[in-house]
Structure 1
Amino acid sequence: MFFEISKQKKHRVLFTVKRTAKESKSTRDKVNSFNTYSEKAIEGKDYFTGLSGYSEDYQWSINYFSNHQPPDVIFANGDDMATGIILGLKVLGYIHKK
C-alpha cells in the first residue's frame, strides 16, 4: 500500500488504526511498511491509534483537522472508519460536492 502511494509522489500520508504497534502485529506491519517508503512513522503525527469505527474516526477527524491541514492521503483501517473521516472533512469544508 505505502509502496503504491510513494510511486504517486504523495508527500503527506496519515493512517489510523485501532491498536498500538506494541499491541498489534498488523499495526507494526503498517508502521514498518510506512518506514520503508517514507520517513519514520511517529504515532500522533503520521498515525493515530484507538480509532475503531465511524464515531471515533468522525470525532477524531473534526478535532484533528480543525487544527491541521489534511494530508495528501489518509489510509483508514476500515470502511466505517473512512466514512467517519470523510464526513468530518466534509463538515469542516475540506470536501465539497461537485
Structure 2
Amino acid sequence: MAGQLEASEEAIRKFTENCRQRHSDLQASITALNAKSDATTATWSGAARGAFDTLMDNYFAQAKKLNDQLDQTSDKLAHAGTKFADQDQQFAQQVAAQASSLDLP
C-alpha cells in the first residue's frame, strides 16, 4: 500500500546508520573541498584572493553547521529508536498481562 509508514526498531536503526554515514561522507567532502580551495588559491594574491577566501570561509562555516545538524538529528533518531523499542516492549507486556486476566472459567 502506497504511503504506508513502517516504524520498527530495525527501520529506525537503519535510517540512523544512513544519516550517520551521510554525515561522515559530507565531512570528508567538506574537508577535501577545503584542501582543494587552499591549493587553488595558494598562488593568488590581492583582493581576488581575499574575496574568494571570505566566500569559501562562509561556505565552510555554513556547511559545517548544516552537517552538525545532521549529526544531531542522527543522535535524536537513535534516542527515539531506543524509546520506541522500550515502549513497544512495555505495551506488549501490558497487553499480555491484560490478556491473562481475561481467562474465563
Shared fold (TM-score greater than 0.5)?
A: no
Q: Structure 2 length normalisation: TM-score?
A: 0.21
Which one has the largest radius of gyration? Answer: 2
Q: Whose helix proportion is higher, 1 or 2?
A: 2
Which structure dedicates a bigger proportion of its chain to strand?
1
